[in-house]
Every structure is written in structure tokens, then in C-alpha cells.
Chains A and B, each alone.
Chain A
Amino acid sequence: MLRYILKRLLIMCITLWIIVTLTFVLMISIPGSPFNSDQSSNETVQANLEKFYNLDEPYYIQYFQYIKSVILFDFGPSIKQPNQTVNDLLGRGFPISFELGLITIIVAVISGIILGVIAALRHNGFVDYLAMGVAVFGISIPNFILATLLIQQLAVNAEWFPVATWSSPKHMVLPVLALATGPMAIIARLTRSTMLEVLTQDYIKMARAKGLSPWKIIFKHALRNALMPVVTIMGTLLAGILTGTFVIEQIFAIPGMGKYFVESINHRDYPVIMGTTVFYSVFLIMMLFLVDIAYGILDPRIKVHQKEGE
């Protein structure tokens, strides 16, 4: 297990290094200086930037300085928002985005698993078709279109929910719904198909031959094995939800990191783009790592496989 963790850690570090290097290469390859083109930045900002990025030094020094600042978690000043650093923006925006993402993932996982299990148990029945219909819908409709539809139907027309912002649980319903539908659909489909496969396994037949009750068979024997693949796609789903927040926060005017990120792209606020990208990459890669570890704990075969590999 330790060896497994160390191996994953090493790969994680290389991936992070690639991201950091990539952002650096992109920064220096932007035609002209990214910080002084036609942008109407004032002189203090300009001076701050040049100081932070050591723009008068050779590239390799700039590179090492950049890596150093990334390790120290310092992403420098913003161009467009004077007197604000990227860290200020992250500190303000990320907790809100994190809250949105966390609620979304909880909703998506719970409803997706329930939907998938029910569909599998009622295989080829009405409930199965209904659940899979919902799932196909969820996968097909892009979240920004769903968000717009929800606002128009449930907020503007029906006035059940507020149109925008993030101030009370009622405000959270529509953004979470818009963001969770896609991942929920993916989880539901995956749970259903693995559940169906697991239910044909010999150990399920064996459990039935032992005379166990259906509930015990489902929860003790089937679900645990059926959820393994769901755990493996959690990393991808998290990435999807995270990029989804860019769109959803923009549409619902939620003052999270995603909104700042989209604005920084529109204004070509390079330090914010780079800083957020690096920050989110670190976050996601760490999540992937945790998912891997969780998988190793859930599936006893992994541990031993690693031991045998020694």
C-alpha cells in the first residue's frame, strides 16, 4: 500500500510540474508581453507585475522564480483588479465555489446511485426505462442550456426560486440542479450497468443459494462491488463539476472563483488565468490521488497486488 501511495505521489508531482511549466511557457509565448499590450493597466500595476515576474531577467531565472512562487502558493497581482492579488480573489471566490461543488457532488452521487440501483433491480421494467430516460436527458443537455431553461421556467415564469445569487438554501436549488444533473446521469448509468453485471456473478448466485434475503444480497454483496467503477470515475466527474462551476456561477451571478475565472478570460487577465489554472489543477490532481487511495482501501485486491509486485 505504501509503495502504491508513493508511486501515485510521484506521478502526481510530475503532472503538477507539467501544468506549472505549461502555464509558464504559455505566458512567455503570448505575443508581446502579456502585461503591457493595449491593456489600460496603470503604472503601479505594471511595476508590480514586472517585479513579481522578474520580466527583465532571463527566462530560466523567470522560470525558477515562477516555480518558487507557485510552491509558496503566491500567484501575484491581478491586472484588471488593482490592489488585488490572485490569492485575494481565490480566498474570496473559492469557498463559495467549493460549497457549490460539494453540494453538487453529494446530490449527484446519492441520487445517481439510487437511480442506478433501482433501474438495475427493475431491469427492463418501466422504472428502468424512466430512470435511464432521465439519465440520457441529463447526459445530452449541456449544463448552461439546462441552467437557462431552469431560470426561465422555474424562476422567471413560475417564480418558485430566485433567479440568481447564492445567499440562501433556496438560492442554491437551481444552480445545484443545473450542475448536478450531468454527473448524476453518468453515475446512474454506470451504477446500473455495473450492478447488472455484478448481479450475474457467481458470488451473487452463491449468496442466493445460501438463502440470504434480497436486501442483504444487494447491500452486502452487490452494491459494494458495483460502486467500485463509480469510485474510479469520481476524479473525472469532479473535474467536470469544477469546470461546470465556471458556467453556472456566471449564469447565476454567483460570486465564486468560476465567475472570476471567466471574467479573467474575457479580459485576458493573465495572472488570474494562470493562477486559477494552477490552483485548480493542484486541487483536482489531489482529488484524483485521494480517489485512487480510496479505491485501494475499498478493493482488497489492490493492496496485495502491490505487495506481490514488490
Chain B
Amino acid sequence: MKYTSKDSIMPSSTNIPDDWFEWEQSDKAQAEKVARPSLSYWNDAWKRLRKNKLAMTGLVFLIILIFLAIFGPILSPYEVNKSDLPNQYQEPSASHWFGTDSHGRDVFTRTWFGARISLFVGLMAALIDVSIGIIYGGIAGYKGGRTDNVMMRIIEILYGLPYLLVVILLLVVLGPSLTTIIVALTVTGWVGMARIVRGQVLQIKNYEFVLASRSFGTKTSRIIRRNLLPNSMGPIIVQMTLTVPSAIFAEAFLSFLGLGIQSPYASWGTMANDSLGAILSGNWWTLFFPAFFISFTMFAFNVLGDGLQDALDPKLRK
């Protein structure tokens, strides 16, 4: 086929002024200029996270929640554990924003105290999981070979243990308290985190930039600090955001079995369980507020975790 000349679309060459046909020193700086400004990994991730409306909703909710957990009780004139039986089951009103419970205690005040405990349980469990997981998974992944093999067998065995059954068993013996609940939740909870860290370390260890820095004789500790940790942070953070809600859920579940935080302290879980019956007698608010905050907190952490997963995934970087 003839490669037809396209004078119809292209400007005719005869219209072009002659003086345009002069050598021009092409601007090398311009040629080298990268098309778009390059962003650092974290800047880029933050930028993408900010575009995710759902994840941002979750993040804002959590910030408000933490603020209220700290300052909420101060705003309220009521004491958290003071019974006021004549005032039991008051509907939400100007004096009791969230109403009162079966002991006449102010649900608003108790909700923020509950937030402190539920969030504390969730965050501590996540923090401990991460600490053990990073050390264990990091060693297994970095050492590799036999060490890795043995360590992974141990993980495989622990992974088979039914998580909540073990937690229940531990709490039956240790007796439920804030400390024992966190201990019980983390005894087998770190296994998942360790697996993720190991996988990341194994993968990154073989990247060329790590090999390069090894070949320069960089110290192991420096490689771990400068290369391995920052580059495996993404999945670790995501896993952490997902550990918090599952720990909050586990605590609520344990409350249901009578193995949660014991009164007079209240987590959202204990508050909700104490009120499961009350809802049938029409006192919906005693269940609604703790249930709403459990659910919305789990929602917030889940969407934030999803958002972070997308934002931190280097594959999605364009």
C-alpha cells in the first residue's frame, strides 16, 4: 500500500518561514527532565490515601474518637461508675446525652471510658504483635536457611492452634483482667504478623539495592535499619490496622463469655453485653451506643487498612 502523504492534516511545508530551519542547540536539561515531579514513597502514599474518601472518613473518625476517649470523660459531670438507681434507664436527654443504664450510670461518660479500654486493648495487642512479629519474622527472613526452616515450622504449628479457644482457655485460668486479656490475645496473635514480616524481608533481601549495599560491606544492622525495615513497612502497617479491630472484636466476644474486662470497668464489649437483654425491653440506647462505636471503629480501621493497602502498594505507583 502507498504510504499516502497527508497534506490535508499536516500543515503544508511551504507555509513555514525559512528562518525556522536553523539549528537549535537542543536543551539537554529539558530532555533529562523527568516528566512529572517525583514524590517520595510516603508523600506519594499519603497523596493517594487522601484521595480515598472512605479511608479518610475512617481516619477522621478515629482521630475524633481518640480525642473523645481522652477528653470525653472530662466534658461530662458524671462519674463513670457511680450508681444512681432512681435514675436508671433514662432516655437520652440534655442532661444524659446517651441516656443512663440499668444502674443509672451515664452512658455518655461510660462510652468514652469504654473507648479508652477498647482502644487500649486493640492498640496494645497490635503493638505487641508487631514487636514480636518484626523480631521473629525479621530473624527468620534475614537469616534464611536452616534457622528460617525451623522457625517457620514452629509458626506452622502455632498457626494451627485455634486462636479464640486458646484465648478462652488462658483466660479461664489466668482470670480476666486488662493485662491477662492483652497477654492472651497476643500469645498466638503475633504469628500472622511474623509471617508477613518474614515474607517481606525474604523478598526485599534479594532486591538489587540491598545486594548492592551488602557488596559495599555495609553492616547488617544498618541494612536492616535503612533498607529492610522502611521497605517492608507498608504491609506491616496494613496488618497493624487490621489487628486493632480484630482485637477489639475479640475483647467484645470475650465479654460475652464473661471473660472480658470485669466491672466496674467497662469496655464497649461489656457495656454491649450487659445491655443485650435491655434492648428487648425498649431501652435501646444502652446497647446502641457501645454497639455503634464498636461497629464504627471496626469499620473505620477496616477501611483505613484497605486504603493504606492500596496507597502503600508499590505496584500501584504510576
B-side contacts of A142, CB under 8 Å: 249, 252-253, 272, 291, 294-295, 298
Q: Does A302 contact B (CB under 8 A)?
A: no
Residue interface bits B224-264, CB-to-A below 8 A is 1, else 0: 00000000000000000000010001001100111100000
Q: A243-B164, A262-B257, A265-B168 are in contact. Are A139 and B157 (CB under 8 A)?
A: no
A-side contacts of B287, CB under 8 Å: 145, 148
Contact B291 A239 (CB under 8 A): no
Report how far A9 CA is from B158 CA in the complex, Å: 14
Q: Does A119 contact B (CB under 8 A)?
A: no
How close is A98's CB to chain B, nearest CB, in angstroms? Answer: 16
Q: Does B299 contact A (CB under 8 A)?
A: yes
Report how far A229 CA is from B302 CA in the complex, Å: 19
- Which of the candidate stretches A66-74, A169-177, A217-225, A279-287 sits at the interface with the other chain? A279-287
A-side contacts of B276, CB under 8 Å: 144, 148, 251
Q: Which residue of A lies closest to B275 (CB)?
A: A148
Per a CB cutoff under 8 Å, which of B162, B257, B279 touches A281?
B162
Residue interface bits A166-185, CB-to-B below 8 A is 1, else 0: 00000000000000000000
A-side contacts of B165, CB under 8 Å: 243, 277, 280-281, 284
**A interface: dominant SS:** helix
Per a CB cutoff under 8 Å, which of B157, B162, B169, B280 touches A11?
B157
A-side contacts of B253, CB under 8 Å: 142, 144, 243, 247
Interface residues on B, range: 35 or more
Q: Which residue of B lies closest to A185 (CB)?
A: B302
Contact A22 B166 (CB under 8 A): yes
Contact B294 A15 (CB under 8 A): no
Q: Does A297 contact B (CB under 8 A)?
A: no
B-side contacts of A251, CB under 8 Å: 276
Interface residues of B in 266-285 (CB under 8 A from A): 272-273, 276, 279-280, 284
How close is A91's CB to chain B, nearest CB, in angstroms? Answer: 20
Contact A281 B259 (CB under 8 A): no
Interface residues of A in 124-172 (CB under 8 A from B): 136-137, 139-142, 144-145, 148, 151-152, 156
Report how far A105 CA is from B195 CA in the complex, Å: 27
Q: Which residue of A lies closest to B302 (CB)?
A: A139
Contact B153 A11 (CB under 8 A): yes
B-side contacts of A239, CB under 8 Å: 162-164
A-side contacts of B173, CB under 8 Å: 26, 29-30
How close is B108's CB to chain A, nearest CB, in angstroms? Answer: 19
Residue interface bits A1-25, CB-to-B below 8 A is 1, else 0: 0000000000110110011001100
Interface residues of A in 6-52 (CB under 8 A from B): 11-12, 14-15, 18-19, 22-23, 26, 29-30
Contact B157 A15 (CB under 8 A): yes
A-side contacts of B157, CB under 8 Å: 11, 14-15, 18
Contact B295 A145 (CB under 8 A): yes
User: How many residues on A have C-beta within 8 angstroms of the other chain's C-beta atoms?
Assistant: 43
Q: A139-B298, A273-B172 are in contact. Are A156 and B153 (CB under 8 A)?
A: no
Q: A12-B160, A18-B157, A280-B162 are in contact. Are A26 and B170 (CB under 8 A)?
A: yes
How close is A293's CB to chain B, nearest CB, in angstroms? Answer: 14
Q: Which 3 A-B pairs have the closest CB atoms?
A: A140-B299, A15-B160, A140-B298
* A interface residue numbers (CB < 8 A to B): 11-12, 14-15, 18-19, 22-23, 26, 29-30, 136-137, 139-142, 144-145, 148, 151-152, 156, 239, 242-243, 246-247, 250-251, 262, 265-266, 268, 270, 273-274, 277, 280-281, 284-285, 288
A to B CB contacts below 8 Å, 19 in the list: A11-B156, A15-B157, A15-B158, A18-B161, A19-B161, A30-B173, A141-B295, A142-B249, A142-B295, A142-B298, A239-B164, A251-B276, A265-B168, A268-B172, A270-B172, A273-B168, A273-B169, A284-B165, A285-B160
